Every structure is written in structure tokens, then in C-alpha cells.
Amino acid sequence: MLILLLVVVTLTAVAEDPGFECTITSDRTNYTVGEVPKFTFRIINKSGKEVMLVGCLDGSDTNRRSPRCDLEILDAGGKPVKETILVCGNMNLLRTKDFVPVPAGEAFDPCGQDFSSLLQLYKFPVKAPGEYTFRFYYSTSDRIQDYLGDERTSGKPLDPEIHRLFKRVPKLDLKSNALKLKFSGKGG
């Protein structure tokens, strides 16, 4: 039943660009307050051609650089659930390995192994029992400057390979399916 639910949730994704689909799933649907769900985020390339996508970078989830990666959490009443997170002003440099080729028909995890995890998962804001809705947003920019970290102020020219790879990054504004999860109190 859980597998069927995950499949249904995955297939109901909404995307602004018909050439791409954005999904969020979790390892299960019921948790205890204090547990952090194990989420899987996917950008599926339905464009018919290989593209380059950039994963979640240091600053992507705090609206300081592209790609923008945001995890929206809403309580049962539809109110946003957030935790204040302080970050330093520095951001890692943009590297050629941050660009990942995604062939047509394949999926990409923007928060995968070589990328930053979302800060909300470190300081998880769900503190009370109830049902919560989770949605993942992924958007790219058509300006390379929006992807830069501390090299913005270094004055050093970018590696020409980064410019070449960036030309293959599509402009996207995606939102995932709405994933509903239940959180029970610690005693039951």
C-alpha cells in the first residue's frame, strides 16, 4: 500500500515546463515529531535532449544563488512552518562538477550526494503532531552571475569550461507534487 501511495504521489507532480517534472517522495508517510523524513527529490528530463542541471549549492536554499532550491512546509491549516536559520556570508565557489549531464528520460537529484542538503532538514521545523504538506521548488536562472559564490568578489575570471557547461542549463521554474506526511507525538 505504501509503495502504491508513493507511486501515486510521484505521478501527480506539477511542473511549469512540460519538458521537465519535479517530484518529492519520502521513505514513509508516518513519523514521530523529532524525526526528519528521508526525502528524495527528482527533476525528470522529458525534454527529448540531454541538458545540464546544477545541484543545490551553498546558498541555493537561502535565496542567495541559483539554482533556487526550496522546501515548503505547510501545517494542516495551510500556514507555512519555518525555522529561523542563521548562515554565514560566504558561499562555496561554482565548480565544473556542479554541472551534471541529465540525458533525456533520466532523473536528477538536486540534493544528491555531491550537493548541499537543505538547511531545513538540519533544523527541522516540525515541532507539533499533525499532518503537514511538503513541496519542493527548483528554479534556474539564465544569468551565470546568479550561480556564483565567493568568486563574485574575487575579480578572477571564470573557468571557460564553466561558461561552456552553463550554456546547456535550461531556464526552469518547477514545483513538485504536494507530499502529505503525518507526525504523531513522541508517546504514540
Domain regions of the chain by residue span: 2-184
pLDDT value for 2: 41
pLDDT value for 153: 74
Contact 22, 13 (CB under 8 A): yes
Check pLDDT > 70 for residue 19.
Answer: yes
> 43: pLDDT confidence band, cut at 50, 70 and 90?
very high
Rounded to an integer, what distance in angstroms lies between the CA atom of residue 66 and that of residue 55?
9
Q: What is the mean predicted confidence (pLDDT) over 77-98?
A: 84
Percent of the chain surpassing pLDDT 90: 66
Contact 141, 57 (CB under 8 A): no
End-to-end CA, the chain = 22
Q: What is the mean predicted confidence (pLDDT) over 9-16?
A: 41
CATH number for the 2-184 domain, one of 3.30.420.40, 2.60.40.2970, 3.40.605.10, 1.10.760.10?
2.60.40.2970
